[in-house]
Amino acid sequence: MADGITGFERLRKDLLRYYDTPFKVRLDEVMDERRSLLDRDGGLWREPWIEVLRDYALTGLGLDQALKAAGAPPDLTQFASLGLIEHPDVFKHQQQALQSAEAGRNVVVSAGTGSGKTEAFLLPIISALLRESGDGAWGGGSPPGSDWWKADKGAWAAQRTAETGRLPAVRALLVYPMNALVEDQLVRLRRSLDSDPVRAWLDEFRNGHRFYFGRYTGRSPVSGDSHNKNRVEELRELMREASRRADRIGDDPERRFYLPRVDGAEMRSRWDMQSHPPDILISNHSMLNVMLMRDKERPIFEQTRVWLREDTSNVFHVVVDELHMHRGTAGTEVAYLLRRLLHELGLKPDSDQVRFIATSASLESGQRGLQFLADFFGARSDSFDVHEGEIEIPQQGTGANPGDFREDFERLAHGVSSAGATEAHGLLVAANAAGAMDAACAGNAVRLSVLDAALFPGAPREGDEVASKPMVGLFHAMDIAGTHSGEGRVPRARAHLFFRNVSGIWACTDPECPEVEPQFRNPERTVGRLWDQPRHRCGD
């Protein structure tokens, strides 16, 4: 993954290349003049702003004790460590969210971006799945589904027809406001529920069952009837391509979870989910509204309703991400959509068999915030626990500063150093990069140039680069260090990038225009000086 500065430079070059391709002109001088207008701060882009991310407080108990103290089943620690939780501890608000859910409370996590809100709602869901399937409660097994698409002809076959020992149903619904967030969540679920270590654990402790998940959006293949030969052939080709792509990637840790595997816990198509609902269904509110109105998706809700009636201890989890986006008329529509869903399942918002979990970057404090939750979900305001997260106070600096290590960071920027995670971590700690960035930003987002000048005073920028070489190297070091768990704090930062479309380019109609700068002149020019804003005449 590219760091903030590298990511900016790539986007900047790609955008200019994208613009130059369809709007290429004959003379290089005119192309160069146009690029000089666009490729600058205030043209196509603005200078990045850098925000230092403060760390959230950990429980200090360690992963095992923190989850046990929250009331989770013993299996959760081992299962979560296989892909969901990469650190030896969890944040306090993650433990608190799990503890509230285990106690039968509705939960809202309103910590900031990058605070692990995804884990805060996945932990209760996985805990419920482990509890339901534990002690041999799920008999039978879940062998790999049919590879029907490998044959040149033949009908579609459902993914989970050979599964026995438990009722298929949606145990948790994850509702997102847009498809981009759905796609991001799939990566997390593949890592948490369908990695090789997770499969091995489920084979050993859950009779080979899987915790199934599926994306049901407009992008999910395929629409139509499973008896339609054309649609079957369309899905056959899509499955073959998905299988080929998964084989090409293999076990590449950088790309493995960005694509589905066709032999695991991820549901393959809409037809598969209509036949056997996934344990975790991911969708957006627009598609959920459509699903509730069509007969072809009715089996999903009917089977979930049967599962809820089978055992009153079964709990249907509803997760609403980015809750702060659901305001006004649009928010009212989503609120009524959730009530319609619960009615379809035979539930009411205050039922013991429904658990609401929401995440939000902001939520009004006090009674007004609780009243908003009650109005949105339809449950009592006193049934919600809100966990905001606890920010750690920045540690005192060591007295060192990044400027003392300027040459080391420059070597990283030029690619001379081949530092690994341990070396990069050590350099950042020795340079007191975290303390210096905290002091320079003072809790606010600042311009990259301001941060650059504070950390590496006097360091020049080469050519049209947006940052000095030492600053580029520092961000490289932060990216390389990643989640290295060595002693000493390393900085975490978010880059805010700003790009815009080209609104237009205007040209003087006089080919002999004296305003054209010398480096852009050419006897073959048919226009005068270029401008990025409309003008009546040059020279004004």
> Mean per-residue pLDDT for 229-235?
95
pLDDT at 26 over 70: yes
Checking if the pLDDT of 484 tops 80, the result is no
Q: What pLDDT does residue 437 have?
A: 92
C-beta of residue 19 within 8 angstroms of C-beta of residue 38 = yes
Residue 287: per-residue pLDDT: 94
The average pLDDT across 17-30 equals 94
pLDDT tens-digit readout, 29-58: 999 999 999 999 999 999 999 999 888 889
- pLDDT of 397 reads 62
**How confident is the model at residue 144, as a pLDDT?**
84
Position 539 scores a pLDDT of 75
Q: Among the listed ranges 73-77, 305-309, 343-347, 398-402, which one has the minimum average pLDDT value?
A: 398-402
Q: Tens of pLDDT along 190-225?
A: 999 999 999 999 999 999 999 999 999 988 999 999
Q: What is the pLDDT of residue 139?
A: 92
Q: Does 326 score more than 90 pLDDT?
A: no
- Give the model's pLDDT for residue 84: 93
- Per-residue pLDDT averaged across 309-332, rounded? 92
- Residue 364 pLDDT class (50, 70, 90 cuts): confident
The tens digit of pLDDT for each residue in 81-121 reads 999 998 899 999 999 999 999 999 999 999 877 788 899 99
**Cα atoms in the Cβ-side hemisphere of radius 13 Å centred on 145:** 25
Across the chain, mean pLDDT equals 91
Amino acid identity, residue 364? Answer: E
CB of 357 within 8 A of CB of 96? no
Whether residue 486 is predicted with pLDDT greater than 70 in this model: the reply is no
DSSP per residue over 46-112, as a string? EEEEEEEPPPBPB-SS-HHHHHHHTT--THHHHHHTTTT--SSS-BHHHHHHHHHHHTT-EEEE---
Question: What is the predicted pLDDT for the residue at 178?
Answer: 75
Q: What is the pTM of this model?
A: 0.81
- The confidence score (pLDDT) of residue 74 equals 92
**What is the SS3 assignment for 393?**
coil
Whether the pLDDT of residue 318 is over 70: the answer is: yes
Query: Which pLDDT score is estimated for 506?
Result: 95
The string of pLDDT tens digits covering residues 377-430 is 999 999 999 998 888 776 666 678 999 999 999 998 887 666 688 888 899 999
352 CB-near residues (< 8 Å, 6+ apart): 104, 312, 315
Neighbouring residues of 478: CB distance < 8 A, sequence distance ≥ 6 = 3, 424, 428, 433, 490, 491, 492, 493
In angstroms, what CA-CA distances link 89 with 24, 77, 81, 122, 391?
Answer: 54, 10, 10, 16, 16
pLDDT at 182: 78
Between 248 and 292, whose confidence is greater? 292
By C-alpha distance, which of 350, 333, 241 is closest to 292?
333
Written as six digits, the tokens of 458 are 């006097």
Highest mean pLDDT among 355-359, 476-480, 492-496: 355-359
Average pLDDT for 256-281: 93
pLDDT tens-place string over residues 123-162 = 999 999 999 999 999 999 998 888 999 999 999 999 999 9
pLDDT band at 482 (very low <50, low <70, confident <90, very high): confident
Residue with tokens 């649609």: 231
Contact residues for 245 (Cβ-Cβ < 8 A; gap 6+): 259
Query: What pLDDT score does 540 carry?
Result: 66
Q: Which two tokens stand for residue 26?
A: 């004959």
For β-strands 493-499 and 45-52, DSSP reports them as antiparallel
State the burial class of residue 372 (Cβ atoms within 10 Å of its Cβ: 0-12, 13-18, 19+): buried
